[in-house]
Structure 1
Amino acid sequence: MKIRTINNLQDAIDSEMAWRKKELSALKSNIQSSRSFAKETALRAGIALLYAHWEGAIKNIAYYYLVYVSFQKVPYNKLKNNFLAVTLKQKLLQFEETNKTTLQTAIINSIFEISNEPSQIPTEKIISTNSNLNSAIFNEIMCTIGLKTDYYEQSYKMIDEVLLNMRNNIAHGERLENIDLDEKRYNEIHDIIFDLINHFSVQVLNAACLNIYLAENEEPSI
């Protein structure tokens, strides 16, 4: 995927958000209009799909941002350190695993050698959710792309102990009465998750517009 400009990034994010908003709205409407056993089925499907949108939106939009930053070809010494860490991830693993000073010195030298060069940030298979986007993995993704997590932290308990727990229980065939899920509870979870996804999409686009990937720029609170 080629995301060279702010407009390219905005188009990618807008496209990502448009279909997700449409499906999430349909999920909510379907639950509201369903009756009796059909409502139970709709609630179960709703939680599973709500989690899928949480994971998919965060993973894809973070990837779009990484691709955008990669195309800027900013020298590493002008970027935030997380982008150098992404680039040198394999070498850093080698550094940790080896006891040979010669190899460790070679790795350190390679870091200094590329610091002034246009960056070549890898983008494929960098953003990973492990099919279980909990708060810890979300933090890792945010560290990978160099963005703040302040806004999301108040919702971590809900993500870990409610959304993921319900998703896992439903996947293992638990009945609704055993997981404390009704329409009111679903709507609460739905609204929080949608807000987090929407906030993330805005945060990423703002980060690109404000060049937050540069070491000299601090991300504002939003």
Structure 2
Amino acid sequence: MMTLESFENSLDRDLSWRKKEFSNIELLIQEKSGNTSLVETLYRSAILLLYSHWEGHVKYCARQYIKYICSYEHKCSELQDNFHQIMLGAYISDKKISQLNAGDIHHQQELFYFFRNQQQHTFKVNEEQTISAKSNLNFERLSIILSQLGLETDNFQTKKAFIDEKLLDGRNSIAHGSRQGNTKPEQLYKDIKRELLEMIEDFHSLIKESISNQTYLKTTTE
């Protein structure tokens, strides 16, 4: 069983080293400010590095969130509906149903058994498989993760354009070998430095508050 303290310490440690790298890359850019060519390379490298910390910390927090809840062996009936949904996804995957067919009697039986018995099942999923690392963390993917965890997207709605049109465009252009995306590396780096750490900290706080307040549990009136 994971304690609240160990959960919070785990998230804080992960955030701490990432913030240190934000500071380190900024110091390096300042030290090399007289070398225009080198600084442009550093801007491009920094964009990739800072994006990796956005994706890395969000996925780390989300997986620790699920791991924490699993460690308490709650019955599904005790948890909010989103956990039933990701449990269903794990169940379908375990049964090796790659394409669900509503007309297939065997698929119907599997779903029937799941819904009939799920309330008394212990919530248990693999956090690595549940929070996928297969795709870039654009706004749609962020929304999916928040939905999986039963959290609102409100805090990040105003960041959609920044995530998709600046952060991901710049990151993907550089990662795929282009010199720059729609925004010059220097300006994009400055935008990312200003916005991204705040977004990472917002997600970090959202996860910690949900665990601390036990919002993942159903209330007695539900």
Normalised to the residue count of structure 1, the TM-score between the two structures is 0.87
* Residue of structure 2 equivalent to 1:33: 31
State the alpha-carbon separation in 2 of the partners of residues 97 and 117 from structure 1: 24
- Structure 2 vs 1, CA of residues 26 and 113 (structure 1 numbering), >3 Å: closer, same or farther? same
Over residues 177-209 of structure 1, what are the superposed CA-to-partner deviations in whole Å (9 max), with x where a residue is unaligned? x64325344222222111111111111011001
Question: What root-mean-square deviation, in Å, do the aligned CA atoms of Structure 1 and Structure 2 show?
Answer: 2.1
* Residue of structure 2 equivalent to 1:45: 45
State the alpha-carbon separation in 1 of the partners of residues 90 and 108 from structure 2: 13
State the alpha-carbon separation in 2 of the partners of residues 187 and 207 from structure 1: 31
* Residue of structure 1 equivalent to 2:129: 125
Q: Which amino acid aligns with 2:60?
A: N
Q: Which runs of 5+ in 1 are unaligned?
A: 218-222
Q: Which amino acid aligns with 1:208?
A: I
Identity %: 29
Correspondence for 1:168 among 172, 184, 206:
172
| Range with bigger deviation, 87-96 or 69-78 | 87-96
* Residue of structure 2 equivalent to 1:64: 64
**Structure 1 contact 83–121 (Cα < 8 Å) conserved:** no
State the alpha-carbon separation in 1 of the partners of residues 7 and 197 from structure 2: 20
Deviation at 1:87, TM superposition (A): 1.6
* Residue of structure 2 equivalent to 1:88: 88
Normalised to the residue count of structure 2, the TM-score between the two structures is 0.87
- Structure 2 vs 1, CA of residues 28 and 171 (structure 1 numbering), >3 Å: closer, same or farther? same
Q: Which SS does the other structure have where 1:132 is aligned? A: coil
Deviation at 1:123, TM superposition (A): 2.1
Over residues 112-170 of structure 1, what are the superposed CA-to-partner deviations in whole Å (9 max), with x where a residue is unaligned? 21302432233231111424111111111111111111111111111111111111111
Correspondence for 1:10 among 8, 11, 36:
8
State the alpha-carbon separation in 1 of the partners of residues 21 and 137 from structure 2: 20
Deviation at 1:91, TM superposition (A): 4.3
**Structure 1 contact 32–183 (Cα < 8 Å) conserved:** no
Correspondence for 2:114 among 110, 115, 129:
110
Over residues 70-123 of structure 1, what are the superposed CA-to-partner deviations in whole Å (9 max), with x where a residue is unaligned? 112121112111111112215457483241346414422332213024322332
**Structure 1 contact 129–137 (Cα < 8 Å) conserved:** no
* Residue of structure 2 equivalent to 1:22: 20
* Residue of structure 2 equivalent to 1:205: 208
